[in-house]
C-alpha cells in the first residue's frame, strides 16, 4: 500500500470515527428528551450501484457522474413515539407530508 493510500485510509477512518462520536452524542441527547422524540436517520447507497443503474438508464459522461453521487446519503428526520411507531418529518431537509408507520 502506498503512503498516499495509507494517508487517505487513515483520514477516512478518522472521519468515520468523528461521525460516530457525533451520532453517539446526538443519541445521548435524544434519549433524555420526552416522548415523542425526534431524530435523523441516514439511508446510504453505494456509488457503484448508482453507477450501474445510471449506465442501465443510458447515462454517460457528466450526466452519469452527477447521477452516481445522487442519493449517496439521504437524511430522514423522523418523530418516534414510545410504542416504536414514527412519522416522517423531512427528507434531506425538505418537509414531507406526514406518513404514519
What pLDDT score was predicted for residue 7?
Answer: 80
Query: What are the cell numbers at 44?
Result: 446510504
Do 65 and 27 share a structural domain?
A: no
Count of domains forming the chain? 2
Do 87 and 39 share a structural domain?
A: yes
Do 87 and 70 share a structural domain?
A: yes
CA distances from 78 to 10, 15, 25, 100 (A): 33, 25, 18, 10
Do 40 and 2 share a structural domain?
A: no
Q: Say if CB 77 and CB 40 are below 8 A apart.
A: yes
What pLDDT score was predicted for residue 61?
Answer: 95
Q: Print the domain residue range for 12.
A: 1-32
Global pTM exceeds 0.75: no
pLDDT in tens, 33-44: 788 999 999 988
Do 77 and 42 share a structural domain?
A: yes
pLDDT in tens, 36-78: 999 999 988 888 899 999 999 999 999 999 998 887 788 999 9
CA distance 16 to 98: 31
Do 39 and 55 share a structural domain?
A: yes
Amino acid at each position: 500500500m502506498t503512503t498516499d493510500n495509507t494517508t487517505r485510509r487513515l483520514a477516512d477512518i478518522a472521519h468515520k470515527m468523528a461521525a460516530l462520536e457525533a451520532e453517539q452524542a446526538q443519541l445521548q441527547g435524544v434519549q433524555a428528551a420526552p416522548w415523542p422524540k425526534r431524530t435523523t436517520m441516514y439511508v446510504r447507497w453505494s456509488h457503484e450501484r448508482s453507477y450501474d443503474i445510471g449506465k442501465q438508464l443510458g447515462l454517460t459522461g457528466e450526466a452519469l457522474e452527477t447521477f452516481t453521487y445522487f442519493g449517496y446519503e439521504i437524511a430522514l428526520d423522523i418523530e418516534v413515539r414510545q410504542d416504536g411507531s414514527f412519522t416522517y418529518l423531512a427528507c434531506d431537509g425538505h418537509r414531507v407530508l406526514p406518513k404514519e408507520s
